[in-house]
Amino acid sequence: MDKLSIEQIIQKIKNEECFEAVSSDYSFTIKIEEYVPYVCAAVHDGHQFRKELWHNCLHTEYERWYEEDPCTKEMIAEHPIVITGLDSRFEYDLNRAPESAIYEDAWGKQLWKSPLPLEMKEKSLAKHDAFYDVVEALILKLEEKYEKCIVYDMHSYNWQRWEREVPTWNLGTANVDNNRFGTDIEEWRLILEQMPLPNGIKSTSKVNDTFQGNGYFLKFITQKFENTLVLATEIAKVYCDELDQIIYPEVVNAVKVYLNSKLKEHAKDFYRRHKS
């Protein structure tokens, strides 16, 4: 893995080079083993939190972990194109627009002892902007090359905080063209529903049940690229004990192994269905 500036990463994409890199500010990683018409992303996988923010943060390390999406990168790591956030959403949220990406409070609790200075905010928002410069360059290259593209936007959510039964998988489709991509959405839902999981975990899958797909990552791509479908895909945190902060590696691995074949098949079907 190389350490590259944003300009170097974008130039490699423009040149259609294969590479694996961490951004020079260590805010995200990107891997391109082959230029294919699909991308996997895990924008909330990151847990890094700038040390200069520690003394001013009211949330504990556990409280931050609880709201992040641990292991979502690992679930998709073996696909040809993977882009992943390294920083915690508590520094800046890649799935929110720049104007709301830095939290004042988080899940009902004040985040900062005192308001963040403008300099601190600008440092974080520069990383947010850089990430999206790379995302735009990547999707532009894939649409130029293949005309159509699909992005698997992987997230997780805390199912135990809900007071009703919730699905193992939720697809948020409120901001994509359901008439145009309805077949692709339903096929992806069925694939997730058929996933075998260990420890007696049942894999259920619904659309817009717990979340509707209102994230900025999806909206950014969808609004700029009319031929790219983004599938906001949330797994309930059945792969960990979200209260005791214990990861179940056998469940994470089961998801990864299944997606290694089934996600790739779905991406191929999408491209065959929509290519000119």
Instruction: Provide the percentage of residues in the chain whose pLDDT is more than 70.
Output: 100
Of the candidates 206, 203, 234, 268, the residue with the CA atom closest to the CA atom of residue 42 = 234
CA 95-98-100 angle, 5° bins: 80
**E strand or H helix that includes residue 181:** helix 178-193
Instruction: Provide the percentage of residues in the chain whose pLDDT is more than 90.
Output: 96
CB–CB of 134/83 below 8 Å?
Answer: yes
Looking at residue 160, its pLDDT comes to: 85
- CA dist 36 to 74, 76, 122, 139, 256, Å? 20, 15, 34, 11, 19
Q: What is the pTM of this model?
A: 0.96
Q: Is 50 exposed, middle or buried (0-12, 13-18, 19+ CB in 10 A)?
A: middle
The greatest distance separating any two alpha carbons of the chain, rounded to the nearest whole angstrom, comes to 55
**11: which 2 tokens?**
């130039």
**E strand or H helix that includes residue 104:** none
**E strand or H helix that includes residue 230:** strand 228-236
CA 216 to chain centre: 11
Tell me: pLDDT of 108 over 90.
no
Query: Mean pLDDT score of the chain, rounded to an integer?
Result: 96
pLDDT range class, residue 276, cuts 50, 70, 90? confident
* Section 161-177 average pLDDT: 95
**75: which 2 tokens?**
């679930």
* Section 220-239 average pLDDT: 97
Looking at residue 152, its pLDDT comes to: 98
Residues 117, 100: Cα–Cα separation, whole Å = 15
CB–CB of 207/173 below 8 Å?
Answer: yes
Residues 42, 85: Cα–Cα separation, whole Å = 6
Cβ atoms < 10 Å from Cβ of 217: 25
pLDDT range class, residue 275, cuts 50, 70, 90? confident
Residue type, 146: Y
Every domain of the chain and the residues it spans: 2-274
pLDDT range class, residue 107, cuts 50, 70, 90? confident
Looking at residue 153, its pLDDT comes to: 98
> For 2-274, CATH number?
3.40.630.40
Tell me: pLDDT of 255 over 80.
yes
Give the orientation angle of helix 118-146 with respect to helix 6-14, to 10 degrees.
10
Tell me: pLDDT of 171 over 90.
yes
User: What would the pLDDT profile of 110-155 be if each residue is shown by its tens digit?
Assistant: 999 999 999 999 999 999 999 999 999 999 999 999 999 999 999 9
